[in-house]
Structure 1
Amino acid sequence: MKLLKLAAIPLLVTFMMREAQPCMAQEKLSVEEIKAIAEEAFIYSFPMVMGYGILYEYAVDEKSSQYKAPFNKIYNTARVYTPKDTAVVTPNSDTPYSFVWADLRTEPLVLSVPEVQKDRYYSVMLADLYSCNYGYIGSRATGNSAGTFMIAGPSWDGATPEGVKQVFRCETEFSLVLYRTQLFGPDDIASVKQIQAGYKVQTLSSFLNKATPEAPPEIQWPAIDKKLAEADPFAYLNFILDFCPTTGTAAAETPLRAKFAKIGIEAGKPFPLAKLTSEQKEALKDGVMSGLAKIKQKVATLGKDENGWRVGGAQGDRAFYNADWTLRAAVAMAGIYGNDEIEALYPLLSIDSEGNKPDCSNKRYTLTFSKGQLPPTNAFWSVTMYDGKTQLLIENPINRYLINTPMLPDLKKNSDGSLTIYIQKDPPGKDKESNWLPAPDGPIYVAMRLYWPKEEALNGSWKPPALVPTK
């Protein structure tokens, strides 16, 4: 999902309304200490700032081309994603999305799902402001029967209402609720729309038919400017932390927050950049750049190397990350708001069979699944093409962004029963066009998705085939 370019010129206007204290000078931190803390804070903040950018575009900035709906209202995308969707990197294009950005500050949100036909996969993923997944509703997790569920913020302390099957607790005061509904093909969109119409969202007071609580304080949302690059996410982090209390399981962050406070990172306070010396600012910059380098290095080593693909689960809840902030940041850089491994496995193409970074400006490739070796899933699989520079879907003459399970009846198999996908920028010829996955004129980024993967995919006994260059 979309990689935000961090501000090169800090957007501090919103944050400088109050006098800031030069805490680094007070603490008399060395340049090395400032750099070390800044590096850790940058890595920690990376997915949170990226997630805030998505929240801002989807639920706050009504002028944004990516705007969906106000808080606590559902927005259904009754289509698959295309190159016009740019708010997130590596979006899937085989399950139409529905979105809710939940404001949990005053009361919980109640989610109702309809009965969904048994052979259709759907999921509702719950993610907090840390970018951690803290719960699931759907085919794998709760089944395809109709049901009512509730998500509650960190300050809520009440009994489970009658009629609610399960309560999910969110550590932060805002949460993303991300629905994925399987589409079987272009002529199936009416059925998807009908299912989406059955996704109901309401506040707890509305569900109980009781008086609405007093409205929470109005928030002055700092704008995200993606044209700026590389300097100061810490003003954003201070803003975001105001909605991330260190209560419950998040109390584990108390020592970390104390460390960050030494350089001016404190929930709800302005970041004191203007008060710092040039030497201190340089140390901050060095910490940010070294943090970014470590995130990129981690991305390159996510999962296990299997035939040139990086395969393995890298998304999860707080316990899954176990304070490995670099892993959490790398996951966000690779594709924020991905699923847990048990929900969807994501082999990401790293190199071709010759050990080179794949590039379709001067090469063509094939990806061949041997007979009986298609990705093993309980739901379905897909192979999706992205621009290697942006990780966004690409324009192409046949408007095809992926090849997936529902397309199998229209794909041509080889005489030995294997299936070959042709990955190149130009059409491979009429006899192969059914199996063509159009590529950009340059580096490519390919993601395989196994929704509700079977055990042989999870334990590594099945491996994705290598990408082979052809003449």
Structure 2
Amino acid sequence: MTDHLPKFRAACLTAAIYLLAALGLPAHGAAAVQTLPDAATFENIAAQGYVYGLPIVMHYDITYQYSVDTASPQYKAPFNQLRNGARVFTYKDTVVITPNSDTPYSFACLDLRAEPVVISVPPVTDGRYFSVQLVDANTYNFGYIGSRTTGIKGGSYMVVPPEWQGAAPAGMQVFRSNAQYALALFRTQLFNPADIDNVLKFQKGYAVQTLSAYLGQTPPPALPMPPFPNIGQDYMKPEFFDYLAFALQFAPAAPEETAIRAQLASIGVVAGKHFDFAALPKDCQEALLRGMKKGAGMVDASINGPGIRVNGWKMSSPFGNRDFFNGNWLLRAGGAKAGIYGNDAAEAVYPMTRTSASGDPLDGSKHKYRITIPAGQYPPARAFWSVTMYDGKTQLLIKNPIDRYLINSPMLPDMKKNPDGSLTILIQRDSPGKNLESNWLPAPDGPIFLVMRLYWPETEGLSVLPLGKGTWQPPRVELND
């Protein structure tokens, strides 16, 4: 190691001169060299930078496919335009991992640089749950419109960028994003398959428009679209830090970000500046790649590591606003990788598991399983609850012969109950037979990842932090071979 360090520092000297030149900064010989990190520090910064940047890059990828790349099969609409989904998500939807298949989505990627955006929602007349989750480019949930928060009377709400100092229309509630780009994610409850036309009618009452359009005024001068770099869903590649540097220019650093952004700058990752991995000497490249793998391992460990577990289900809610995370980048990254755009715990909670109650890995190629919910002990949710099946490797919905991806509370009237009034959900790869298919949740031919969703949870019944220590427990996943 002693013999290697001088060679590493010499290589990084070349890298430093290149990076300083690329950033338009003067290189002052030895003075610049003394500030460069050694191999271990370089690797550690890359690891911490990966953890910090993963949610930001994941959000950038989704934004790119939804509103930039018109050739993408996942393309939705240009910025500041709404796209209503006429269906629930299926195995064909592959951009967002761990998507729900309960509620048809509506999407609007928001560009707030030139002016605020106004979101309008209709009144609810049939008890239908809906929510509009406002997520910024940091993946902070900075606001909610919907049944739980703003009520059922309908109305218009304004979303503004971090630096906005204008006046809102009289009586209009304002939500301030922490970044100049954001996402409005609409969820509209579907009571049953025959209810889809009613959902579509409700979605027609949604509207997204710029403030000038809402007021009928002349818009401010249009800002040119930035040169969005093309991106793929493989984040374990060195271009990761170029995507991160690009995205950071639209999200002003909060005080808790000062340290990590300074560390990233020390290895050449600077907001709004191109990061050219290929120009780095080999030793620096190797240190960065080792750091990325280390960071990815840290994120995976945070997801699969210890936490509050009840009957084998991990009870956590790693989603919230900037104050909720308070600089805990590992918590933010773990939440994003487990299921980016998860809701605040007050809006929804997500017990999840990859193991049976006994701790054995769930695998549809080896076993059949069951979940039995005792009579009268359904998950405590004011809106609805569900149990969704995912491929344990990809965290995507799986293709199956009955096009069913979940069991949820609206399906209860059509499901068979046990003599004692309990409900058994059958989890297996192959059909249990026509007479039991109403209770069948098709499983993949391999690892299983199960996620429960409780929308608008009854907090007093939940044993999940930060909501409280209630008495309800998720039912056990048990062998049914």
Aligned length: 451
Q: CA RMSD in A?
A: 1.7
What does residue range 121-270 of structure 1 map to in structure 2 within 5 Å? 121-164=129-172, 166-226=173-233, 229-246=236-253, 250-270=254-274
Q: Which residue of 2 aligns with 1:309?
A: 313
Measured after TM superposition, the shift of residue 302 of structure 1 is 6.8
| Cα deviations by residue, 1:354-381 (Å, 9 ceiling, x for unpaired) | 3111001020000001111110111100
Aligned with residue 352 of structure 2, among 348, 355, 362: 348
Q: Which residue of 1 aligns with 2:387?
A: 383
Which is further off, 269-278 or 452-461? Answer: 269-278
Task: Evaluate the alpha carbon distance shift between residue 118 and residue 461 of structure 1 in structure 2; reply closer, same or farther with a 3 A threshold.
Answer: farther
Aligned-partner SS, 2:202? helix
Which is further off, 51-60 or 255-264? Answer: 255-264
Measured after TM superposition, the shift of residue 47 of structure 1 is 0.7
Counterparts of 1:228 and 1:172 in 2: how far apart (Å)?
22
| Cα deviations by residue, 1:38-95 (Å, 9 ceiling, x for unpaired) | 1111100001111111000000000000000000000000111111111111111110
Aligned-partner SS, 1:27? coil
Aligned-partner SS, 1:112? strand
Aligned with residue 22 of structure 2, among 19, 23, 35: 19
| Cα deviations by residue, 1:193-221 (Å, 9 ceiling, x for unpaired) | 11100001111111122111011132111
Aligned with residue 290 of structure 1, among 287, 291, 294: 294
Q: Which residue of 2 aligns with 1:74?
A: 82
Measured after TM superposition, the shift of residue 303 of structure 1 is 4.5
What does residue range 312-461 of structure 1 map to in structure 2 within 5 Å? 312-455=316-459, 456-457=461-462, 458-459=467-468, 460-461=470-471
Amino acid in the other structure paired with 1:189? I
Measured after TM superposition, the shift of residue 227 of structure 1 is 5.5
Measured after TM superposition, the shift of residue 265 of structure 1 is 1.3
Q: Is the 8 A contact 2:242 2:274 kept in 1?
A: yes
Q: Is the 8 A contact 1:367 1:468 kept in 2?
A: yes
Amino acid in the other structure paired with 2:437? E
Counterparts of 2:145 and 2:287 in 1: how far apart (Å)?
45
Q: Is the 8 A contact 1:302 1:312 kept in 2?
A: no
Amino acid in the other structure paired with 1:294? M
Measured after TM superposition, the shift of residue 33 of structure 1 is 1.3
Aligned-partner SS, 1:59? helix
Moved over 6 A (4+): 21-24
**What is the percent sequence identity of the aligned residues?**
51
Measured after TM superposition, the shift of residue 179 of structure 1 is 0.2
| Cα deviations by residue, 1:254-286 (Å, 9 ceiling, x for unpaired) | 333222211111111111434432222111111
What does residue range 115-126 of structure 1 map to in structure 2 within 5 Å? 115-117=123-125, 119-126=127-134
Amino acid in the other structure paired with 1:463? Q
Aligned-partner SS, 2:360? coil
Counterparts of 1:298 and 1:273 in 2: how far apart (Å)?
28
| Cα deviations by residue, 1:9-50 (Å, 9 ceiling, x for unpaired) | xxxxxxx9x835798856232111111111111100001111
Larger Rg: 2
TM (norm. structure 2) is: 0.91
Gaps of 5+ in 2: 1-18
Residues 1:52 and 2:60 aligned together: yes
Aligned-partner SS, 2:394? coil
Measured after TM superposition, the shift of residue 420 of structure 1 is 0.3
Measured after TM superposition, the shift of residue 228 of structure 1 is 7.3
TM (norm. structure 1) is: 0.92
Counterparts of 2:70 and 2:260 in 1: how far apart (Å)?
35
Counterparts of 2:276 and 2:390 in 1: how far apart (Å)?
39
Between 1 and 2, higher relative CO (CA 8 Å, sep ≥ 6) is seen in 1
Counterparts of 1:96 and 1:135 in 2: how far apart (Å)?
20
Q: Is the 8 A contact 2:432 2:440 kept in 1?
A: yes
Aligned-partner SS, 1:337? coil
Task: Evaluate the alpha carbon distance shift between residue 302 and residue 51 of structure 1 in structure 2; reply closer, same or farther with a 3 A threshold.
Answer: farther
Task: Evaluate the alpha carbon distance shift between residue 302 and residue 219 of structure 1 in structure 2; reply closer, same or farther with a 3 A threshold.
Answer: farther
